[in-house]
Chains A and B, each alone.
Chain A
Amino acid sequence: MTATALETGRKRLWAGESGESVSRNLILAGVLVALLVIGAITQPQLYGDSAWVWSNVLSILQLASVVGVVTVGMTFVIIGGGIDLSVGAIVALAGVWSTTLATQSFGAGGMIFTAIVVGIAVGLVNGFLISYGKLVPFIATLAMLVAARGLAASISGKQTQISSSDLINGIASTKLLGIPILVYILAAVAVAGWVLLNRTTFGRRTVAVGGNPEAARLAGINVKRHTMLLYALSGLCCGIAAIMLTAQATSAQAAMANLYELDAIAAAIIGGTLLSGGRGTIVGSVLGVLIFATITNLFAINGLSTEAQNMVKGGIIVAAVLVQQFRFQSVTRLFNRKP
Chain B
Amino acid sequence: MASINRRGLLFGGAAVGAGALLTACTSNEAAPTAAQTKAVDAAAGGNAAPGEKVVIGFSAPAADHGWLAAITTNAKAQAATFSDVEFKSVESGSDAAAQRAALSTLLAQKPNVIVLLPHDGKELNSFGLEAMTAGVQVVNLDRAFPDRRAYRTQVLGDNYGMGVAAANYVIEQMKAKGVAAPVIGEIAGMDELELTQTRSKGFSDTLTAAGFTVANRRAARFTVDSGQQEASQLLQALPKIDALWNHDDDQGIGVLAALNQANRKEMIMVGGAGSKQAIEAIQADDSPLKATVTYSPSMASSAISLARLIGQGKGLGDLVELQVPKEIVLSSETITKDNAADYLKFGF
Q: Give which listed residue, A59, A97, A103, A169, contacts B233 with CB less than 8 A.
A: A59
B257 touching A249, Cβ below 8 Å: yes
Q: Contact at A102–B253, with CB atoms within 8 Å?
A: no
Chain B residues closer than 8 Å to A254, beta-carbon distance: 64
Measured between alpha carbons, how far is A307 from B188 in the docked complex, in Å? 13
Query: Is there an interface contact between B65 and A255, defined as CB atoms closer than 8 Å?
Result: yes
| Residue in A closest to B256 when the chains form the complex, CB atoms | A250
Interface size on B, residues (CB 8 A): 49
**Which of chain A's residues has its CB closest to B220's CB?**
A306
Q: Is B63 an interface residue (CB 8 A)?
A: yes
Q: How far is the CA of A157 from the CA of B348 in the complex (A)?
A: 13
Complex interface: stretch among A23-31, A114-122, A194-202, A320-328: A114-122
With A173-B261, A248-B261, A249-B225 as known contacts, state yes or no: A296 contacts B25, CB within 8 Å. Answer: no
Which residues of chain A from 232 to 256 have a CB within 8 Å of any chain B CB? Answer: 245, 248-256
Query: Given A102-B25, A155-B26, A117–B18 Cβ distance below 8 Å?
Result: yes
Which of B25, B28, B68 contacts A114, CB < 8 Å?
B25
CA distance A35 to B234 in the complex (A): 18
From B63, B191, B225, B254, name the one whose CB has the most chain A CB atoms within 10 angstroms.
B225
Cβ–Cβ contact B28 & A102, under 8 A:
yes
Write out the residue numbers on chain A whose beta carbons fall within 8 Å of the beta carbon of B217: 303
* Given A121-B19, A158-B69, A172-B257, CB of A300 within 8 Å of CB of B25: no
Are A157 and B22 within 8 A (Cβ)?
no
CB pair B65–A100 under 8 Å, yes or no, is: no
For B216, what are the chain A residues with a Cβ–Cβ distance below 8 Å?
300, 303
Chain A: minimal CB distance from B54 (Å): 29
CA distance A118 to B326 in the complex (A): 51
Report how far A153 CA is from B69 CA in the complex, Å: 11
The docked-state distance in angstroms from the alpha carbon of A256 to that of B27 is 20
**A159 to B224 Cα, complex, angstroms:** 11
Closest to A256 in B: B225
Chain B contact surface mostly: helix
Decide: A297 and B27 in contact? CB cutoff 8 A: no
Asked whether any CB of chain B lies closer than 8 Å to the CB of A5, the reply is no
Q: Is B218 an interface residue (CB 8 A)?
A: yes
Given contacts A117-B18, A172-B257, A303-B216, contact A157 B28 (CB under 8 A): yes
Q: Is A156 an interface residue (CB 8 A)?
A: yes
Q: Which residues of B contact A245 (CB under 8 A)?
A: 225
Whether B294 sits at the interface, judged by CB under 8 Å, is: no
B277 on the A face (CB < 8 A): yes
Q: Which residues of B contact A256 (CB under 8 A)?
A: 223-225
Please, which residue of chain A has its CB at the minimum distance from the CB of B28? A100
In the complex, A172→B30 CA distance in Å? 26
Write out the residue numbers on chain B whose beta carbons fall within 8 Å of the beta carbon of A255.
64-65, 221-223
With known contacts A56-B236, A103-B25, A157–B69 Cβ distance under 8 A: yes
| Residue interface bits B200-238, CB-to-A below 8 A is 1, else 0 | 000000000000000111110111111111101111110
B219 touches A306 (CB 8 A): yes
Interface presence of A257 (CB below 8 A): yes
The smallest C-beta distance from A124 to any residue of chain B, in angstroms, reads 9
Is the CB–CB distance between A102 and B261 below 8 Å?
no
Residue in A106, A162, A306 whose beta carbon sits within 8 Å of that of B277 in the complex: A162
Quick check: B26 and A100 within 8 Å, CB to CB? yes
Taking CB as reference atom, which chain A residue is nearest B226? A258
Q: Does B28 contact A155, Cβ atoms closer than 8 Å? A: yes
Q: What is the 8 Å Cβ interface bit string for chain A, positions 152-170, against chain B (1 contact, 0 not)? A: 0101111111100000010
**When chains A and B are docked, how far (Å) is the Cα of A137 from the Cα of B133?**
49
The reply to whether the CB of A209 lies closer than 8 angstroms to some CB of chain B is: no
A110 to B329, CA, bound (A): 47
Which residue on B lies nearest to A49, using beta carbons?
B239
The reply to whether A102 and B27 form a contact with Cβ atoms under 8 Å apart is yes
The answer to whether the Cβ of A14 comes within 8 Å of any Cβ in the partner chain is no
Interface mask (A99-135 → B, CB under 8 Å = 1, otherwise 0): 0111100100010001001100100000000000000
A62 at the interface (CB under 8 A from B): yes
Contacts of B257 in A (CB 8 A): 169, 172, 248-251
| Docked-complex contact A251 and B224, CB < 8 angstroms | yes
Q: Which residues of B sit under 8 angstroms from A172, Cβ to Cβ? A: 257, 261
Interface string of B235-264 (1 = CB under 8 A from A): 111010000000000100110110011100
Residues of A within 8 A of B215 (CB): 303
Which A residues lie within 8 Å of B342 (CB)?
none
- Chain A nearest CB from B27 CB (Å) reads 4
A55 within 8 A of B: yes
B338 to chain A, nearest CB (A): 26
Q: CA separation between A251 and B275, bound complex, in Å?
A: 15
Contacts of B236 in A (CB 8 A): 55-56, 59, 297, 300-301
Is there an interface contact between A63 and B232, defined as CB atoms closer than 8 Å? yes
At the interface, yes or no: B44 with Cβ under 8 Å from chain A? no
B239/A46 in contact, CB under 8 A: yes
A52 within 8 A of B: yes
CB of B286 within 8 A of chain A? no
- Report yes or no: A300 in contact with B227, Cβ–Cβ below 8 A: no
Contact call B239/A62, Cβ cutoff below 8 A: no
Say yes or no for B322: interface residue by CB 8 A criterion.
Answer: no
Alpha-carbon distance A100/B25, docked complex (angstroms)? 7
Could you say which residues of chain A place their CB within 8 Å of the CB of B28?
Answer: 100-102, 155-157, 161
B237 and A253 contact, CB distance less than 8 A? no
Complex: how many Å from CA A63 to CA B236?
Answer: 12
With A101-B29, A248-B257 as contacts: A253 and B232 at CB distance below 8 Å: no
Q: Are B224 and A253 in contact (CB under 8 A)?
A: yes
The verdict on B146 contacting chain A, using a C-beta distance below 8 Å, is no
Q: Is B66 an interface residue (CB 8 A)?
A: yes
- Closest A residue to B18 using CB positions: A117
Q: Which residues of B contact A63 (CB under 8 A)?
A: 229, 232-233
**Smallest distance from the beta carbon of B33 to chain A beta carbons, Å?**
9
Which 7 residue pairs across A and B have the least CB separation, nearest first? A300-B233, A249-B224, A103-B25, A301-B237, A102-B27, A250-B257, A249-B225
Task: Give 5 new A-B contacts, CB below 8 A, not counting A249-B253, A251-B253.
Answer: A155-B28, A160-B65, A249-B257, A256-B225, A257-B225
A-B contact pairs, 13 of them (CB 8 A): A55-B262, A63-B229, A158-B69, A249-B225, A249-B227, A249-B253, A250-B254, A255-B221, A302-B237, A303-B215, A303-B216, A303-B237, A305-B219
